[in-house]
Amino acid sequence: MIPHSFLFGHLVAIAKIHIKHKIPPDVNGHWIFRHLELEYPELVRKGIIYVDVWPIGFPMVATYHPDIMAQFIQENSLPKFWALSQVEFKPFTGGKDLVTIDGNEWKQARAMFNPGFSARNLLSLVPDMVEEVLVFQGRLRQAATSGEVVKLEDYTTDITIDIIGRAVLGTRLKTQTQPSRLMSTMKSQLSLIFLELDLKKLLNPLRPFRNWIYNRIIRNELAPYIINTAQNYEKIEGAKTVVALALKSYVNETPDYSDRGNVPPEFIERAINHIKIFMFAGHDTTATVLAHAYYLLSQHPDKATKLRAEHDEVLGPDPSAAADLIRADPTLLNMMPYTLAVLRETLRLFPPAGGSVRQSPPGHFLTHPETGVRYPTHGLMIHSSVVTLLRDPTYWPDADSFIPERFMVRDENDPLYPVRNTYRPFEMGPRNCIGQELVSVEIRLILALTVREFEVEDAYPQGAPLWMGTKAYQITNPEVVATAHIKDGLPVRIKSRKQGS
């Protein structure tokens, strides 16, 4: 255990690390685990660190070894930490969403939504997604023409919202061109969530009332999609959305069309809770990953050149023809291994979530795979410090560098070949992220339709803080839920590229 204060736990030691390493105050909290590793390497070599950050957070066991993480996430998937459902997401979904529920309830929900998030189904939805990316293209062209500095994360947020609207609900939310009542309300409600102690939010006497209002508005917005899909299931032509496939079992059990409009209220409430978490996670995390991908490509023109060459090879030399080609054959996205490698390397360097948090049962131990030492965990939150593992030079050569090629390696003896259990930005095991294939499809699609026409040039001020070698580091935005976002929304100038340049 690191030096401990009777009154302040490990907060004093963590404060000293912040001062010593000159960590900017807005850096996302999940990076503190990496600095604990730098400050106390002899402890991290044991595979875990006990961390007491009460009252800011819950006492925990932070794990650093990939095979120790596998013990409670893959080999024995422990329940999610109780505070997720009972405290943090309770006002948002009642703690009844796919992220927080456990046991048979989770298994039934996962089985209900798995078909909609399958790779095959998502590819069938690509033609609809293309329509939204063309709007994104238009916005980038306008920004390039004006020459103004824009916050790229605002743009990537809007496009990812519109794509998930098509994939989940089968509707055009048009967030890129006009205000959306559904998403503006959801963003307002998300701003009330806090994953670490936030007295301003905790003590706000209006917070319960605002949550009640927001939940009512969102229900009124989403319920018609569910009811309409149930009533008109057979009339849906072509690809089925996530909601449509989730309703398949209900439709099959209700062959009488006249009864389908009477969807049980409890079913609607349950579906809305899941949809809300999909809408949140599906845009919030993907938007910042996409912004970081553009930033990393701008900082590594050699990698951008390789990416564009792949798109020329798969889609032909004319970027303007790419959209129609992908519409006609969405499987072309599967023929872009370097594009996928760029995404995977971006996620390795800048994962939006710091790791999973699980609940330890009585008598539970974690065992170091090499030493055999057993560590007690009962009464503590168990945390997989994924953000630290993904930059650990023990497993990742040149760990802080942007090297998409490491995900192109097929020889297991190659030093760049990813070590088993180490690549986990979507986590692993049965409770891995259900939306990871959607992230993969939409980011490959967006990059394929934009990187040959545009490039970005960061426009951070001259004296902007530099941390971990970049001005575009991950921050905690107090106005939104505490997933990691890109610093200042990534101010950039959009540049149009001449064809062939």
Report how far Cα 46 is from the mean position of its chain's Cα atoms.
29
Structural domain harbouring 255: 91-300+430-437+465-496
Cis peptide before 361 (omega within 30 of 0): no
Mean pLDDT, the chain, whole residue set: 92
Give dist(CA 331, CA 277) in Å, integer: 28
> Per the domain annotation, does 282 fall within a domain?
yes
Give dist(CA 418, CA 183) in Å, integer: 38
Q: Cα angle at 284 between 434 and 299, to 5 degrees?
A: 105
Decide the pairing of beta strands 357-359 and 365-367.
Answer: unpaired
Q: Which residues pair with 348 in a beta bridge?
A: none
> Per the domain annotation, does 107 fall within a domain?
yes
Structure tokens at 171: 């509707």
Give dist(CA 238, CA 418) in Å, integer: 38
Structure tokens at 277: 């978490």
> Per the domain annotation, does 137 fall within a domain?
yes
For 134, other C-beta atoms within 10 Å of its C-beta total 11
Quick check: helix, strand or coil at residue 380? coil
Residues 59-80 have pLDDT tens digits of: 999 999 999 999 999 999 999 9
For 1, other C-beta atoms within 10 Å of its C-beta total 11
Evaluate if residue 260 carries a pLDDT over 60.
Answer: yes
| Mean pLDDT computed over 86-95 | 91
Task: Name the maximum alpha-carbon separation found in the chain.
Answer: 68
Give dist(CA 361, CA 379) in Å, integer: 8
> Per residue in 266-299, is it b (16+ CB within 10 Å) or e — as a string?
eebebbbbbbbbbbbbbbbbbbbbbbbbbbbbbe
> Which of residues 476 and 339 earns the better pLDDT score?
339
DSSP 8-state code for residue 73: I
> Per the domain annotation, does 193 fall within a domain?
yes
Give dist(CA 327, CA 281) in Å, integer: 26
> Which of residues 482 and 194 earns the better pLDDT score?
194
Above pLDDT 70, what percent of the chain?
Answer: 97
Report how far Cα 99 is from the mean position of its chain's Cα atoms.
12
> Per the domain annotation, does 140 fall within a domain?
yes
| Mean pLDDT computed over 303-309 | 98
Give dist(CA 483, CA 474) in Å, integer: 9
Alpha carbons within 13 angstroms on the beta-carbon side of residue 443 total 30
> Per the domain annotation, does 71 fall within a domain?
no
Residues 381-432 have pLDDT tens digits of: 999 999 999 999 999 999 999 999 999 999 999 999 999 999 999 999 999 9
> Per the domain annotation, does 129 fall within a domain?
yes
Structure tokens at 316: 């032909």
pLDDT band per the 50, 70, 90 thresholds, residue 252: confident
Q: Comparing C-alpha atoms, which of 78, 77, 46 is closest to residue 62?
A: 46
Number of structural domains, the chain?
1
Q: Comparing C-alpha atoms, which of 103, 60, 131 is closest to residue 380?
A: 60
pLDDT band per the 50, 70, 90 thresholds, residue 258: low
pLDDT reported for residue 119: 94
pLDDT reported for residue 74: 97
pLDDT reported for residue 482: 59
> Per the domain annotation, does 458 fall within a domain?
no
Residue 122's CATH number: 1.10.630.10
pLDDT band per the 50, 70, 90 thresholds, residue 308: very high
